[in-house]
Structure 1
């Protein structure tokens, strides 16, 4: 994208302004030497022999005073960047160039004609201004045009020989034209240089942004791939355990059922004092059978009855059980059900999923803690969110969430979250967990059917 012409002009003016100050300091110091030479010439009596030496002294005084004025102005009207350039700065650099060209035109066109007839001072000034400063072609034409006219008029007054005067006219005209074209060429080259420089910087910035975006995308892709690999490994473990569960659960349940039946028969034949022991044994068999049921729930081959339901209805139907658990555990439970579209769900499995998450949340909190159940949806997913106010989950535990038989509870089986992950997997969903010292939040996402 091309730079704004005004901005480029401000950059050039900023450079001109700094060079004006530097050149003013150099000329002021050099002028001190010239004034010393003038005083020496006065001591030698040259001012009496030729009045031009006295006029040269006056021109040096003017040069010293004006350059000092420009030095003071440059420190008074400061500019720290191109954005701070104003009309005052622009006028300052134009007036400086006009003064240098004018006073050298006076010296070369009038004063020096009376003792050596050289125009070296004006020549040096023209080329110095052309090389050091960058002016617009119109400004350069004005500067060289006015100083050139002054030079010609002064030559006409000071030079009496018409032939010599004509030669000076030709030399002066060529000097003005060459200086103008040199200034214009250098100005355009500087413009192109600035344009190229800032375009290159913009291009580098743009490419850097693209590389950062590509790097971020690649990093995200690598992270997603690692997550997918971890999820695949976890699902493989679930699948293996599920196949084991499917193959052994029925074989273990049959003898358990037989033992339970005989214990019930024997219980009825025993004295009342032994019935407590039989009740305890039957209760433990029921507990073992419950663990087998949970273990069997992990199996991916378990049939799932998917029908169109609204998850809000399932949450509402399960809410009495949740409220009862909250009351028994001295906890609070709040529910926020937003309008969500229907999904293909297995009611029993979603109830089990919700109860497992809720009971884990209750167990993670101290008395008086509040658990929140919320539903929401986006364009592609419906979310079931369960948040607690516990102490959060440690990182090394987070990595093992959903692993069968892994538990941090003394009386836990380590199958609750494994069952949740299995249920969500059978519904083609996903589980995301956020945790902090202030609590944990489980997000269960179900994809919307197209």
Structure 2
């Protein structure tokens, strides 16, 4: 009990506990009134037997006992009907009416037993058994605050003493009943208070447990969300690391072999151009095709070199809006060629440490991918904006979106969905962004895709 007394009890707890106790009292009244109604029927049957045996003639107490049973039957029937008519689904629905309903019923039971023992039973056998049973039943069945309990037992005890004084003429028996009834009232009062405190403490303990469980659940949910986010971030980091490792491997390969491959290719291209002028017009087409394929191979090697992380990159302070503006003529030409509309929205952003050539290549690759994803009449949008810690370059198209399995492989070298693509365009973009300590976020849906490139403010 000391543990609960040391806890901080708020008014909300007190109100909620009293509501619950009253709710339980009200439900007990429904059941108790039905039981007493059935008991009154049995008692009326016993009264009928007493009348047949002629006991009513011997003592009019049996007749008054019959009347008390009739009153008990009618009152309990009334309470049963009212209680089952007005059902309270939860403790929150308890009102003052329900509290008054229960208290009046308890007062009725105590008063009726006091009248029966203090007056009627004194005419028959001079016992107070009924009052004793009624007092203990109310103490065990109901849970009231101490002042209400004192009021109930006090009123019933006053009624008992008055009726006992009037009906019992033997002073010895009367004094004995006074003492016994006083002890019964005192014991019932303390028993009721002890049970009320125990129930109150049990409810308080449950409230604290519920709050503790709720608090711990929130903490666990927060920890779970944090852990889930950390796992997702780690998986993303692992995917990015694997992607960057592949880019690094290909870059190292490109850096090591590009020089050795380009030299013989340049020699072959020179001899082909020389021989081309010595052939007739019909054979020149074959030489043009071979030279074109050599140029294509050379451009692929250039893209290999763009992926390389080992190449030296010179960074200078530039504004990304200036780079976009200077690249617009090329972008507009590509948009007109594909019969698409170009929209540019440049917001004020701070300067960054950038490599102009690489950012231009990044922008051109993203723009060309967006144009190729749309049919004629689509709109391509280039936008720059800044957040608290980042500057963003966004390229949006109105294509059909990117499927999930494709989205997971974006930036992987040699992976492409285009018939004549090399699968190096986005790999180059990821390499450039990585060298600038940035990140790429892709938002896609059936109505279009947006590539958001974020650069950290240093």
Common fold, TM-score beyond 0.5? Answer: yes
- Return the match for 2:157 from 148, 154, 167: 148
Query: Residues of 1 paired with 2:342 and 2:385: CA distance?
Result: 18
CA deviations 1:192-243 (Å, max 9, x no partner) are 0001112112212222222222222222222221221121111111111101
Deviation at 1:16? Answer: 0.2
Deviation at 1:274? Answer: 5.3
**2:37 matched to which residue of 1?**
28
1:242 aligns to 2:251 (yes or no) = yes
**2:118 matched to which residue of 1?**
109
**1:133 matched to which residue of 2?**
142
Query: Residues of 2 paired with 1:271 and 1:44: CA distance?
Result: 147
1:256 aligns to 2:265 (yes or no) = yes
1:422 aligns to 2:431 (yes or no) = yes
SS in 2 for 1:256: helix
Query: Residues of 2 paired with 1:44 and 1:335: CA distance?
Result: 111
SS in 2 for 1:78: coil
Query: Residues of 2 paired with 1:344 and 1:81: CA distance?
Result: 66
- Whether the 8 Å CA contact 1:77–1:89 is kept in 2: the answer is no
Query: Residues of 2 paired with 1:68 and 1:351: CA distance?
Result: 92
SS in 2 for 1:75: helix
**1:328 matched to which residue of 2?**
337
Deviates more, 1:158-167 or 1:270-279: 270-279
SS in 2 for 1:4: helix
Deviation at 1:279? Answer: 4.0
**1:309 matched to which residue of 2?**
318
**1:229 matched to which residue of 2?**
238
Deviation at 1:180? Answer: 0.8
CA deviations 1:31-60 (Å, max 9, x no partner) are 011111112212222212211111111111
**2:3 matched to which residue of 1?**
none
**2:97 matched to which residue of 1?**
88
- Whether the 8 Å CA contact 2:13–2:207 is kept in 1: the answer is no
Alignment gaps of 5+ in structure 2: 1-7
**1:384 matched to which residue of 2?**
393
SS in 1 for 2:19: helix
Query: Residues of 1 paired with 2:58 and 2:283: CA distance?
Result: 149
**1:79 matched to which residue of 2?**
88
Query: Residues of 2 paired with 1:143 and 1:320: CA distance?
Result: 96
Aligned length: 449
CA RMSD in angstroms comes to 1.8
**1:286 matched to which residue of 2?**
295
Query: Residues of 1 paired with 2:180 and 2:161: CA distance?
Result: 10
1:410 aligns to 2:419 (yes or no) = yes
- Return the match for 1:120 from 113, 129, 139: 129
Query: Residues of 1 paired with 2:184 and 2:329: CA distance?
Result: 102
Query: Residues of 1 paired with 2:283 and 2:121: CA distance?
Result: 139
SS in 1 for 2:209: helix
**1:348 matched to which residue of 2?**
357
Deviates more, 1:415-424 or 1:387-396: 387-396
SS in 2 for 1:300: coil
CA deviations 1:64-99 (Å, max 9, x no partner) are 111111112212332111100001001000000000
Task: Output the TM-score relative to the length of structure 1.
Answer: 0.95
Deviation at 1:319? Answer: 2.1
Query: Residues of 2 paired with 1:293 and 1:405: CA distance?
Result: 15
Deviation at 1:269? Answer: 5.4
- Return the match for 2:68 from 29, 42, 59: 59
Task: Output the TM-score relative to the length of structure 2.
Answer: 0.94
